[in-house]
Structure 1
Amino acid sequence: MIQNYLKIAFRNLTKNKGYSAINIGGLAVGMAVALLIGLWIYDEFSFDQYHENYDRIAQVMQQQTLNSEVKTSPAVPIPLARELRNSFDADFKHLVLSSWTNRHVLTFGDAKFTRTGNYMSPEAPAVLSLNMRKGTWKGLNEPASILLSESTANALFGKADPLGKMMKIDNKLDVKVTGVYEDLPYNTELRDLRFIAPWELYVASTDWVKTAQDNSEWGNNSFQIFAQISDKADMGAVSAKIKNIKSNKGDKEELKFKPEILLHPMSRWHLYSEWENGVNAGGRIQFVWLFGIIGAFVLLLACINFMNLSTARSEKRAKEVGIRKAIGSARTQLIGQFFSESLLVVAIAFVVSLLLAQLSLPFFNEVADKKMILLWSNPYFWLAGLGFSLLTGLLAGSYPAFYLSSFQPIKTLKGTRFRTGRMAALPRKVLVVLQFTVSVTLIIGTVVVYRQILHAKNRPIGYTREGLVSMHVSTPDIHDHIDAIRNELQKTGTVLELAESQSPTTDVWSNNTGFSWAGKSPGLQADFATIGVSHAFGRTVGWKFIDGRDFSRAFSSDSSGFVLNETAVKFMGLKNPVGETIQWNDRRFKVVGVVKDMLMSSPYEPVKQTIYFIARRAGNFVTIRINPGSSTSAALETIEKVLKKYSPTSPFEYDFVDVEYALKFAAEERIGKLALVITVLAILISCLGLFSLASFMAEQRTKEIGVRKVLGASVANLWGLLSKDFVILVLVSSLLSGPIAYYFLNDWLQKYEYRTDLSWWIFIAAGLGALLITLLTISYQAIKVALMNPVKSLRSE
């Protein structure tokens, strides 16, 4: 019986090849989109689960109140770790002090590479449950040791056994390889951890860290602490316990900021990374929900198409039902036949969707910045896919199965054509409205995302980024010879200027308090971004001065000088800032100049009040201005030769500042690209369904069109007649999509302080675009029927 059902179902599919192709293709595309989005959501929720104790690991964070605004940061002081261990030892299984993940030069013989890594306490491998390929977790207990990721070990040592080999960090620290661990997966926040060096080595080799380790240094928030709570401890309870630990131990200066300590669980690092006024306000979780909803709606569009076309085509099979019932078919047999046809179509579509998903996965991974694979061996993957296919097949087949099988043979076999009445088309019209409401909403959303990106990209940045090259310097060689390097490069004519800074041009690495000036409000808590630079920094980046002058070696007093940005002047309330004295802790500085705000952090946020000063050792970053009249490739070759002369063991690695600046838009551009692809596919799916429905309706009205043509109707009249219903449906969809899109997009834009507006023309343009797409889709069928010879359409059956 089932074999017979499938045979008849297959014959029906091959009999109507065009209808079948559209039906299967539309459903397959929708299922493939939902499948890819489902994989993306699964990857997002499984972030950091590589670590065995993922649900018991947390980052120790700090909240401080500045001018009534609570700011939350992972930056904490070193003494906090010691106090947590001494006072709350029973609550913590492990506590790990850590530096920030930075680039360092790793050298073994002639092999030299720049890799990102951390200095961490010996307990780090246990907390992170590193999978050791060679050596053990205890390797970090040796003070002059290093653990390498597998890829880093292979790059440095090739096929040789790295254990016990001596190598260098930053051309200055001799360390022994005591372990090799498996590279952390791409879907973990610590995936850039290419090596781990001992915390004690960091302290012993870095003077300012050694000072910060002093018990009284509670104000130097320049470090990280990772914790694993005890097996029987509760994360929320431990977080509440340690809340006031710093306010109880810190000095009076620190108490002004009302410091509070808390634990941020690893399970929330990825999806809940944003904080607003002391509250964990979300983060990427909003995109997970957004794309989850979009994926569900795209799948719904495909299902609507399938159900629309299934019900529309089933109306033509009324006589078939009558004949089969007349010759003895039971209603249950007819129900089984219709369900088998529906399930066959869904099964074929599911297979095609798997193929489409597999073929498009590399592109999707590139756009989404993922490394996902189809979960062929995961039983839940197959359970979800097959379960959905079964549900879709049953829903789509329910109308013809139960409704058509209920007809009386005598009525369906009469000479008049089977009619279902005006109300029979109402469900299809509702579904078409729903389809285009989703499509128009997606169009509006995509346009707004790209407008927000362009709005931020066109924002003034206060300097000239074109032609700027930035290099992260982790070895002392470059800094020790910076003047000689600058002179040699300028003599070549390929470089206009060169300077050092303690932060990259596109970020701020240091914030400080302890500032006072004449007229400062007693209650104002002064927090500034502080950038240590060399004298030529302003000339290198192309500062734009509003008042005063740049730093100059001709003025020895500039070693105690400040250059302020516009926001700093406004924040301090200075009317004539140049010449004003500002005290920073125990030192006095004089303002020598004011520059336009230089955008260094997020392009979507206001520029922070910033102070630039001459640093004794501003050697973290070197910024070079290439002569615009020189070839970039030739200039880079020249720069490399000069740098190799003074630092032969350091790899020549650089970043173009304009490229680094462009990366600030990566997350939003990624969302925009995904939204664009999904929107195009959603429109395609909707148009496929619209095309088939238009074809079906035109076929139903063939004799009516013939009569109208005989009575004198023009092709234009007939085209308007056939298009009118669909145009009305799309206009209704446009009216419904406007408020929906406005509600969600306005909420999304609120998270950006520097944001575009929701212009009325976007909604109008999206509606007109959908209307144009609709007319183009249905015009072919409408004109085809309108041009048909009425003699053929009116021929007697």
Structure 2
Amino acid sequence: MIKNYIKIAWRNIKRHKGFSLINAGGLSLGMASCLLLLLYVGYHFNFDKQFDNLDRIYIVENNQPGEDKIYTFSATPAPMANAIKTQAPGVEAVSRLCSYTAGGLISYKDNGLKKSGVFVDASYFSIFNYKFLQGDAAKALAQPNSIVITQDLAIALFGKEEALNKVIRRNDKTPLTVTGVIENPAPNTTFQFDYLLPWAVFENEVSWAKTSGWGSNFCRTFVKLKDAADFKPADGVVRKLIAQNNTGDKAVAMLFPYGDIHLHNTFENGKSVGGMISQLHIFEILAFCILLIACVNFMNLSTARSEERAREVGIRKAIGSGRNMLIWQFISESVLLCIFSMVVAVIILAAVIPSFNNLLNIKLSLPYQQWYFWAGLLSLALVTGLISGSYPAFYLSSFKPIKVLKGTFKAGANGLPVRKVLVVVQFVFAVFLISSTICIYRQIKFIQDKSIGYDKNNLVQIKAEGSLANKSEVLINQLKSEGIITHATTLQQDITTNGNNTWDLDWPGKQPNNRILFDAFFTGYDLVHTAGLTLVAGREFSTEYPSDTAGTTMMINETAAKAMNLAHPVGSIIKYGNRPVTIVGVYKDFVWGSPYQKTAPMFSQCIGSNASVIAMRLNNNNSISHNIEAIEKQMKLINPAYPPVVKFVDADFEAKFQNEKLLGTLANLFGGLAIVISCLGLFGLAAYAAEQRTKEIGVRKVLGASVSSLVALLSKDFLKLVGIAIALAVPLSIWSLNKWLQNYEYHIGISWWILAMAGMITIMIALITVSFQAIKAALSNPVKSLRSE
């Protein structure tokens, strides 16, 4: 029986090649798009899943109250790790992690590479089970001069040689012995690094690290429990630690599941309210909708061909076929076509994944060797076949054989309303996607065009590594004398990445309960001209004022002046910690962190010539390539051990929009595919409609109808459906896009022209799709269609 179903189904597919091609093409594109989106979603859902016992691993989050809300971040005091280990019940292991100053030059003999690293406690590998290719996880970080490196770094440094026990140099001075080589962290791992260093190295390099107390938050703390049931008592102890050890501090630490930090990293008032998970849910819905559109196409085209299949159904029913047999026959045709489409979809998927990875800077791959992958593909093909074939099967099998064989049956009378509903659903989705794409790109453009408070063009930054840390003045003076740069300043942290902040400011008139978090932006001389800031009042730091480097003066931004309610801030004396500080200047707000959020109150103190970063304003009179070559040349002369790297501030700033650009790119890409799939179905329906009205068109042409009137006649029914879809899509788009925009403090409004443009684009696409078949039918010779009569 099944063999006969398959055989008949294959004959029907071959007999109607054009119909089958449109159906298979739509299904293949729909399945490929659906699978690609599901792979992308799966990639993010599997973040950090390579670690065993993930349900027992936690990261400590720090809730800091202030300004009538709670700030949540994962920075914790260094002593917290030992306190948790000794006081919290059910703790198996605790480890700290800090990336501050961990990156740098790693060299072996004459081979030097700039790589990223992290400082961790020796117990780190008791929490996270990285696979060791060389060395022993239990002893790898026991010695203070040890280093564990990744497989890629081992190959880059030593080639095929054994890496274990080899001595390498860090930052061209610190000798370290390789005590372990681990597999590269998976691409979907939260913390990426090229090497790990013992915490003792950090304490030796950073003077304040050993003595830092409970008020200094700079490291991440990970906790592994003996049993997941120990969470509540352990979390209860952790929540009290800061208050117990830092009198007057209202911060509350808490244990947060490590497996949730990638997807649920947005907090409001100390509680997780989502994050990346919201975006993934959008892509899940998008994947489902694209596949549904492909199924709708199949239903539409199958029911549209009902008159062709009516006689077949009538004859088969007359000779004894039951309705159930006919239903399974039509569903088997659908499933067979879906299996063929799935094969084509996998081929498409294999071809596009490399480009998709490059576009999104991720590493997706098809798990060919996993049984669940093939089981999933087969299941998806079967489910798609059942969904897409169900309505045509029940509809076609319901024909009355007497009416069919007498010639009184009119196909489409029952199927037409359903087909219209399905077309409307398709184009509601199309209008919504077009509206979303326009809105996303307008939001990105709005933020990009918004003033950021400094001039990012022709502004570059370099890391002050090695000799450059103490010779920043030498480099700056040399480049100025050559006419390569016009201004330069030193920074503790680059101008595009925030991070340092404090509650520890006090000022006249401050209320005891008024806690405000201030960004701390430490800089050298000539900041205003170098960055292109606007000085509102007072002065900037200068070598003419030795007190600037003594920590007794400060500059603030306008938001800080408003927060402190200082009518005349310049000359005001406030306190930073217990030290009195005089405000000497006020500069306009500039974007340091997220461009989507309001500017935080900020202060700056002078670090003189000491530098972690050197910012330089390039000379416009020279070409950019000439300026960069000259900077690199001087960097090599002053700091020969380090490969010179010059970063453009405007490029770093653009990276802040990566998440929104990713959302826009995916909406554009898959929205376009959804529209293409919808148009394939519309194309097939228009072709069938034109075929059904061939004789009518012939008669109208003989009676003098023009081509344009015939095209309008054949197009208007479809355009009515698109009009209904637009009317339904408008409120849906307004509601959903407004909800998305509320995630940003600075955002556009939903202008009427966005929806009007989306509607016009949809009408144009539908009109072009339908008109092709309509014009073809209108231009046909009426003699051919009427001769058969």
TM-score with structure 1 length normalisation? 0.95
Change (3 A) 1:423 1:711: farther
Verify the 8 A CA contact 1:105 1:115 in the aligned structure 2: yes
Verify the 8 A CA contact 1:235 1:265 in the aligned structure 2: no
Number of residue pairs the alignment of both structures matches: 785
Displacement of 1:721 after TM fit?
Answer: 2.1
Work out the CA distance in 2 between the residues paired with 1:319 and 1:575. Answer: 90
Please identify, of 283-292 and 68-77, the stretch whose mean Cα deviation from structure 2 is larger.
Answer: 68-77
- Give 1:696-711 correspondences, 5 Å limit: 696-711=688-703
* Amino acid corresponding to residue 24 of structure 2 in structure 1: I
Work out the CA distance in 2 between the residues paired with 1:176 and 1:332. Answer: 74
Question: In the alignment, what sits opposite 2:726?
Answer: 734
Displacement of 1:158 after TM fit?
Answer: 2.3
Verify the 8 A CA contact 2:62 2:74 in the aligned structure 1: yes
Work out the CA distance in 2 between the residues paired with 1:456 and 1:441. Answer: 23
Work out the CA distance in 1 between the residues paired with 2:417 and 2:233. Answer: 57
Work out the CA distance in 1 between the residues paired with 2:483 and 2:608. Answer: 28
Change (3 A) 1:788 1:644: closer
Work out the CA distance in 2 between the residues paired with 1:157 and 1:534. Answer: 40
* Amino acid corresponding to residue 60 of structure 1 in structure 2: V
Verify the 8 A CA contact 2:420 2:721 in the aligned structure 1: yes
Question: In the alignment, what sits opposite 1:91?
Answer: 90
Question: In the alignment, what sits opposite 2:358?
Answer: 366
Verify the 8 A CA contact 2:31 2:342 in the aligned structure 1: yes
* Amino acid corresponding to residue 759 of structure 1 in structure 2: S
Question: In the alignment, what sits opposite 1:551?
Answer: 541
Question: In the alignment, what sits opposite 2:475?
Answer: 485
- Give 1:424-443 correspondences, 5 Å limit: 424-443=415-434
Residue 666 in 1 paired to residue 658 in 2?
Answer: yes
Verify the 8 A CA contact 1:367 1:674 in the aligned structure 2: no
* Amino acid corresponding to residue 249 of structure 1 in structure 2: N
* Amino acid corresponding to residue 538 of structure 2 in structure 1: G
Question: In the alignment, what sits opposite 1:317?
Answer: 309
Displacement of 1:268 after TM fit?
Answer: 0.3
What's the CA shift string for 1:656-679, capped at 9, x where partnerless? 111111100111101110110011
Please identify, of 531-540 and 391-400, the stretch whose mean Cα deviation from structure 2 is larger.
Answer: 391-400
Work out the CA distance in 2 between the residues paired with 1:324 and 1:611. Answer: 85
Work out the CA distance in 1 between the residues paired with 2:389 and 2:184. Answer: 49
The DSSP-based 3-state class of the residue aligned with 1:372 is coil
Displacement of 1:580 after TM fit?
Answer: 1.9
Residue 459 in 1 paired to residue 460 in 2?
Answer: no
Work out the CA distance in 2 between the residues paired with 1:77 and 1:700. Answer: 77
Work out the CA distance in 2 between the residues paired with 1:83 and 1:379. Answer: 46
* Amino acid corresponding to residue 231 of structure 1 in structure 2: D
Match of 1:499 among 489, 501, 504: 489
Displacement of 1:326 after TM fit?
Answer: 5.2
Work out the CA distance in 2 between the residues paired with 1:451 and 1:459. Answer: 12
Question: In the alignment, what sits opposite 2:13?
Answer: 13
Displacement of 1:16 after TM fit?
Answer: 2.5
Question: What root-mean-square deviation, in Å, do the aligned CA atoms of Structure 1 and Structure 2 show?
Answer: 2.0
Displacement of 1:630 after TM fit?
Answer: 1.8
Displacement of 1:4 after TM fit?
Answer: 4.5
Verify the 8 A CA contact 1:103 1:472 in the aligned structure 2: no
Displacement of 1:237 after TM fit?
Answer: 4.2
What's the CA shift string for 1:601-643, capped at 9, x where partnerless? 1010111111111025742111122212223233222222222
Work out the CA distance in 2 between the residues paired with 1:582 and 1:165. Answer: 53
Please identify, of 588-597 and 145-154, the stretch whose mean Cα deviation from structure 2 is larger.
Answer: 588-597
Change (3 A) 1:332 1:221: closer
Change (3 A) 1:322 1:516: closer
Residue 116 in 1 paired to residue 110 in 2?
Answer: no
Displacement of 1:505 after TM fit?
Answer: 0.8
- Give 1:604-615 correspondences, 5 Å limit: 604-615=596-607
Please identify, of 402-411 and 292-301, the stretch whose mean Cα deviation from structure 2 is larger.
Answer: 402-411
Displacement of 1:328 after TM fit?
Answer: 6.5
Verify the 8 A CA contact 2:431 2:762 in the aligned structure 1: yes
Residue 514 in 1 paired to residue 504 in 2?
Answer: yes
Displacement of 1:562 after TM fit?
Answer: 1.8
Work out the CA distance in 2 between the residues paired with 1:79 and 1:209. Answer: 10
Match of 1:264 among 228, 242, 256: 256
What's the CA shift string for 1:30-89, capped at 9, x where partnerless? 00000011111111111101111222111112111112211111111112122112212x
Displacement of 1:410 after TM fit?
Answer: 4.1
- Give 1:327-406 correspondences, 5 Å limit: 334-406=326-398
Work out the CA distance in 1 between the residues paired with 2:395 and 2:470. Answer: 87
Work out the CA distance in 2 between the residues paired with 1:38 and 1:793. Answer: 48
Instruction: Provide structure 2 residue ranges, at least 5 long, that are not aligned to the other structure.
Output: none
What's the CA shift string for 1:338-363, capped at 9, x where partnerless? 33322221111111111111111112
Question: In the alignment, what sits opposite 2:144?
Answer: 143
Work out the CA distance in 2 between the residues paired with 1:237 and 1:682. Answer: 50
Question: In the alignment, what sits opposite 2:245?
Answer: 249
Verify the 8 A CA contact 1:107 1:171 in the aligned structure 2: yes
Displacement of 1:99 after TM fit?
Answer: 1.4
- Give 1:72-87 correspondences, 5 Å limit: 72-87=72-87
Please identify, of 20-29 and 524-533, the stretch whose mean Cα deviation from structure 2 is larger.
Answer: 524-533
Question: In the alignment, what sits opposite 1:572?
Answer: 564
Identical pairs, percent: 40
* Amino acid corresponding to residue 174 of structure 1 in structure 2: P
The DSSP-based 3-state class of the residue aligned with 2:520 is strand
* Amino acid corresponding to residue 499 of structure 1 in structure 2: T
Displacement of 1:449 after TM fit?
Answer: 0.9
Residue 647 in 1 paired to residue 643 in 2?
Answer: no
- Give 1:562-641 correspondences, 5 Å limit: 562-615=554-607, 618-641=610-633
The DSSP-based 3-state class of the residue aligned with 1:794 is helix
Work out the CA distance in 1 between the residues paired with 2:608 and 2:209. Answer: 17
Change (3 A) 1:697 1:532: same
Match of 1:523 among 513, 518, 521: 513
Match of 1:534 among 509, 513, 524: 524
The DSSP-based 3-state class of the residue aligned with 1:72 is strand
Question: In the alignment, what sits opposite 1:219?
Answer: 215
Verify the 8 A CA contact 2:106 2:169 in the aligned structure 1: yes
What's the CA shift string for 1:486-523, capped at 9, x where partnerless? 21121121122222111111012311222222333443
Residue 229 in 1 paired to residue 230 in 2?
Answer: no
The DSSP-based 3-state class of the residue aligned with 1:505 is coil
Verify the 8 A CA contact 2:628 2:646 in the aligned structure 1: no
* Amino acid corresponding to residue 485 of structure 1 in structure 2: L
* Amino acid corresponding to residue 99 of structure 1 in structure 2: C
The DSSP-based 3-state class of the residue aligned with 2:156 is helix
Displacement of 1:196 after TM fit?
Answer: 0.9
Verify the 8 A CA contact 1:218 1:251 in the aligned structure 2: no
Verify the 8 A CA contact 2:9 2:329 in the aligned structure 1: yes
* Amino acid corresponding to residue 347 of structure 1 in structure 2: I
Change (3 A) 1:328 1:594: same
The DSSP-based 3-state class of the residue aligned with 1:533 is coil
TM-score with structure 2 length normalisation? 0.96
Displacement of 1:329 after TM fit?
Answer: 5.8
Work out the CA distance in 2 between the residues paired with 1:170 and 1:598. Answer: 33
Question: In the alignment, what sits opposite 2:767?
Answer: 775
- Give 1:191-230 correspondences, 5 Å limit: 192-212=192-212, 217-230=213-226
Work out the CA distance in 1 between the residues paired with 2:391 and 2:510. Answer: 76
Work out the CA distance in 2 between the residues paired with 1:488 and 1:617. Answer: 15
What's the CA shift string for 1:438-474, capped at 9, x where partnerless? 1111111111111111111111111111122212234
Change (3 A) 1:787 1:638: closer
Instruction: Provide structure 1 residue ranges, at least 5 long, that are not aligned to the other structure.
Output: none
Change (3 A) 1:203 1:607: same
The DSSP-based 3-state class of the residue aligned with 2:141 is helix
Question: In the alignment, what sits opposite 2:63?
Answer: 63
